[in-house]
Amino acid sequence: MDMAFVEVCLRMLLVFVLSWTIFHVTNRKKKKATKLADVATEERKEGGPDVIIVGAGVGGSALAYALAKDGRRVHVIERDMREPVRMMGEFMQPGGRLMLSKLGLQDCLEEIDAQKSTGIRLFKDGKETAACFPVDTNFPYEPSGRFFHNGRFVQRLRQKASSLPNVRLEEGTVRSLIEEKGVVKGVTYKNSSGEETTSFAPLTVVCDGCHSNLRRSLNDNNAEVTAYEIGYISRNCRLEQPDKLHLIMAKPSFAMMYQISSTDVRCNFELLSKNLPSVSNGEMASFVKNSIAPQVPLKLRKTFLKGLDEGSHIKITQAKRMPATLSRKKGVIVLGDAFNMRHPVIASGMMVLLSDILILSRLLKPLGNLGDENKVSEVMKSFYALRKPMSATVNTLGNSFWQVLIASTDEAREAMRQGCFDYLSSGGFRTSGLMALIGGMNPRPLSLFYHLFVISLSSIGQLLSPFPTPLRVWHSLRLLDLSLKMLVPHLKAEGIGQMLSPTNAAAYRKSYMAATVV
């Protein structure tokens, strides 16, 4: 047989097989898409949800309540409905409490043994100072924060959300988003019985935290690990000043102590290296006792060591930062730590999240059809701009404040560190103004720039004292350069145009910082 003829036959056979395969795969995908669309349509006819929320933490639960109060049918899918055990999200700033009250959720801080916070107690090199939240401002709410067990607060939020008849709270693990022509239509998830099932809605909100697996397919932003937070609880004890967050400017970074219940004190500290001592073999406990505890003021040291001596479980979590970007896809919104993160040193994550939820729920309220992709896209653009006065101010402050707290042998860096301590110790407008920013009571970017500028100038003044020398001038110039290096990258990440927009600032203050409470 002619080999050329055989070769032609084989090629024709190969083309036929490939064509048949492509046809059937394409046809199968079309049938699957049609089937999913039919299921989605059927769910809508049967009173399916208007919104699917992935995650029932602080954000997911609060958003579910806010949307359901506006008449939306909400399906919340949470991986684990048991009370969370976390060491983050244990302090709510005054600004966060204001947002919580505007959402109608202020009672969720009741009956969880939450402790009142009036400010910070700061320690450095044997000296200490107190910085309180200002009481003589235009802030329209009680100027105090709250310490609490995060899990208790989350459970209260879940109970509040599920008390509404149009909220369905279900335990399940979301596997993937269901997409059709670039539009998210719903989710595939495994329920508590282990069965894989689907849920469809015009809008899906991903609110599943800093370890979100869904975020990667929706946003271009990547989370940067900045440090490691190590913490434990000292039980059956009470701080001498339980209404203060005790911040110790230690080495290599900071340590903290605060009263999360009437009998429990959270003790935590930060390490910068990835090579952490092992918790399981006792290396971490020994490290804390030998390296961190000696830097804790003597009057706090007994409480700081009590948890270790009693074998309290040591937890380690990553501190991350990640600028916010809008989702590339339609039909889906990302919120919370899956959307935006900043260093946790000023405990502002929940405050920004609750502010975001308040803005978003109000913008979505007039929309009759959440399936209108163009209108939802316009809402998200407005949301992204309106959130900037609060989010950009807090993000920039949190990340900059953390960098200042890191100990260093560099004279310029240490001068800035000392300058920050002196600034908070000075009292008057300086202290009250900076504390209003930290507490989310005055989220104005221009106010932030003013305080950062004055801290830098006062630190330079200390460096040049008692009289300038060439070396002191050199260190002063380096300090100014360090200040700019700390600030400029955050401004670029936040978008300086939107951050400084007077229109956005005025709209935010008028709509979200006003005295009206739900």
Arithmetic mean of pLDDT, 358-370: 95
Per the structure block, which two tokens stand in for 255? 């340590």
Element spanning 98, H or E: helix 94-102
Lowest-confidence pick of 84-98, 234-248, 433-447, 495-509? 495-509
For residues 276 and 20, the model is more confident at 276
Strand pairing category for 183-191 and 196-200: antiparallel
Q: CB of 161 within 8 A of CB of 68?
A: yes
Q: pLDDT digit string (tens) for 327-339?
A: 889 999 999 999 9
pLDDT at 402 over 50: yes
The answer for residues whose C-beta is within 8 angstroms of residue 2's C-beta and 6 or more apart is: none
Per the structure block, which two tokens stand in for 332? 């889906």
pLDDT range class, residue 512, cuts 50, 70, 90? confident
Backbone angles phi, psi at 205, to 5 degrees: -115, 120
pLDDT at 25: 47
For residues 30 and 223, the model is more confident at 223
pLDDT at 175: 94
pLDDT at 497 over 60: yes
Domain covering 51-113+148-223+322-371: architecture: 3-Layer(bba) Sandwich (3.50)
Highest CATH level, class, for 224-320: alpha beta
Q: pLDDT digit string (tens) for 150-186?
A: 999 999 999 999 999 999 999 999 999 999 988 999 9
Query: Quick check: do 51-113+148-223+322-371 and 224-320 share a fold?
Result: no
Lowest-confidence pick of 49-63, 69-83, 210-224? 210-224
Per the structure block, which two tokens stand in for 148? 């609490």
Number of H helices, E strands in the chain: 15, 17
Q: pLDDT digit string (tens) for 42-62?
A: 445 467 999 999 999 999 999
CA 245/CA 258 separation, integer angstroms = 5
**Whole-number percent of the chain with pLDDT over 90:** 75
pLDDT range class, residue 518, cuts 50, 70, 90? very low
pLDDT at 4: 59
pLDDT at 5: 53
pLDDT at 517: 46
Residues 252-268: b if buried by 16+ CB within 10 A, e if exposed: bbbbbbbbbbeebbbbb
pLDDT range class, residue 19, cuts 50, 70, 90? low
pLDDT at 222: 82
* Residue whose C-alpha is closest to residue 157's, from 363, 360, 348, 350: 350
CA 56/CA 62 separation, integer angstroms = 8
Is the bond into 466 cis (omega within 30 degrees of 0)? Answer: yes
Cα atoms found within 13 Å of the Cα of residue 29, Cβ hemisphere only: 9
Bridge partner residues of 224 (DSSP):
321
Backbone angles phi, psi at 230, to 5 degrees: -120, 130
Q: pLDDT digit string (tens) for 259-273?
A: 999 999 999 999 998
Per the structure block, which two tokens stand in for 378? 């316009």
Evaluate the CA torsion angle 448, 451, 452, 453 in order and state its sign.
positive
The domains of the chain are located at: 51-113+148-223+322-371, 224-320, 397-513
> What's the farthest any 2 CA atoms get from each other in the chain?
103
Evaluate the CA torsion angle 330, 335, 340, 341 in order and state its sign.
negative
Arithmetic mean of pLDDT, 364-374: 93
pLDDT at 355: 97
pLDDT at 32: 46
Cα atoms found within 13 Å of the Cα of residue 437, Cβ hemisphere only: 25
Per the structure block, which two tokens stand in for 486? 């700390």
Arithmetic mean of pLDDT, 15-27: 56
Arithmetic mean of pLDDT, 491-504: 81
pLDDT at 178: 97
Q: CB of 161 within 8 A of CB of 57?
A: no
Arithmetic mean of pLDDT, 240-249: 98
pLDDT range class, residue 11, cuts 50, 70, 90? low
Q: CB of 273 within 8 A of CB of 253?
A: no
Per the structure block, which two tokens stand in for 512? 């979200």
N-to-C CA span, the chain? 88
The gap from C-alpha 372 to its chain's centroid, in whole angstroms, comes to: 29
Other CB atoms within 10 Å distance of the CB of residue 404? 21
Q: CB of 314 within 8 A of CB of 284?
A: yes
Arithmetic mean of pLDDT, 277-301: 96
pLDDT at 34: 46
